[in-house]
A and B are shown apart, each in its own frame.
Chain A
Amino acid sequence: DVVMTQSPLSLPVTLGQPASISCRSSQSLVHSDGNIYLSWFQQRPGQSPRRLIYKVSNRDSGVPDRFSGSGSGTDFTLRISRVEAEDVGVYYCMQATHWPAAFGPGTKVDIK
């Protein structure tokens, strides 16, 4: 099974400053159809998860453009260009290239 790891697991950030979360998979996430099914999710306190990014770098509708995703193969990154107060929460990466699908352990983002 594919194992997803994230770093850091806790990320205190300063408002207005950039933030970055790394996600690594134990094997390549390139599917036989050529796609990479790597998504990022945000879960604010007390809320359901919300998808931000799909297929590595595609932003979902309504997601602010301060969020961006990048990466290839086994290494992926979620970047927030300027952190806002509403960005507090836990961020998860998830791979759906191989079964079983798997989530990373989550990165908790809070304000310093």
Chain B
Amino acid sequence: EVQVVESGGGLVQPGGSLRLSCAASGFTVSNYNMNWVRQAPGKGLEWVSFLSSSGSTRQYADSVKGRFTTSRDNAKDSLYLQMNSLRDEDTAVYYCTKDRGMAVWGRGTLVTVSS
């Protein structure tokens, strides 16, 4: 079965850092474009970042550009989102999604930024 499992969320103070992980099963992460999408409490979906299958293209939403970095470990079949200089408005459930059309979603991991 094709699935992704996000982890690494938690409570962090403003200005802090957190690294999210996305473990894939049933497919090889390096063969697919991958995205991170977030959803603030009670709000809609917001695309956060994209990493191409070749690894040569990274795209970020303006709201996270310069603070968030997406990367991949082919050996572990995992995708990561390094989040620095976190702000209150980054509080959300973060989802990892497979391919350009976002075919597969995990259950998400909750990031809470609060003092």
Report which A residues bind B (CB closer than 8 A): 37, 39, 41, 43, 48-51, 54-55, 60, 90, 92, 94, 96, 99-106
Contact = CB atoms under 8 A, between A and B. Distances in A.
A62 to B, nearest CB: 12
Contact of A96 (B45, B95, B102, B105): B102
Interface of B: 35, 44-47, 50, 59-62, 95, 100-108
A49 B45 contact: yes
A104 B45 CA distance: 8
A108 B45 CA distance: 13
Contacts of A55: 101
Nearest to B95: A48
Contact of A100 (B47, B101, B108): B47
A105 B46 CA distance: 10
A32 to B, nearest CB: 14
